[in-house]
Amino acid sequence: MSTIVPLIRGLRLALRSCVPLTDTGLHLQATLSEAITRRIGTLETTRVVAKAAFLDPRFKKTGFGRDDNANNGQQWVLDELTSFMRKNVTLKCYTHSATNSSSQYTTKQE
C-alpha cells in the first residue's frame, strides 16, 4: 500500500516527460492524464494511503506529489500516535489506581 503514492507520482512524471509527435499521441497523452487524475489522483489524500507512504522509510515525504499531502500524512500519523499514547496513559493510570485501591482494601481487612 505504501508504494501507491510514489507509483502514481512516477506515472504522472513519465507521462509528462513524453513528447508525442502526432495528434493521436497528444490525444492519448491528454486522455491518460485525465484518467489518472480522475481515477487514482485523489489516493494521495486518503488517510490510510498517505500514512502508509509516510511511514515507509523508502519514501517518507519524497513520494508525494504535493507538500501539503505529505504534511497531512505526517500530521495524521502524529495524531494517531498521540491518541494512542493518551489512551495508554489513561489505561495505566486506571490500572495503577485500581491496584492501589485493592491493596488498601486488603490492608484494611487484615
Find out whether 63 and 53 touch, Cβ atoms under 8 Å.
yes
Cα dihedral 92/94/96/97 (nearest 10): 160
d(CA 35, CA 88): 44
- Residues of the chain with pLDDT > 70, as a percent, come to 78
pLDDT for res 106: 43
pLDDT for res 99: 54
Kindly report, residue by residue over 44-89, the tens digit of the pLDDT: 778 888 888 888 777 777 778 778 888 888 899 899 988 888 877 6
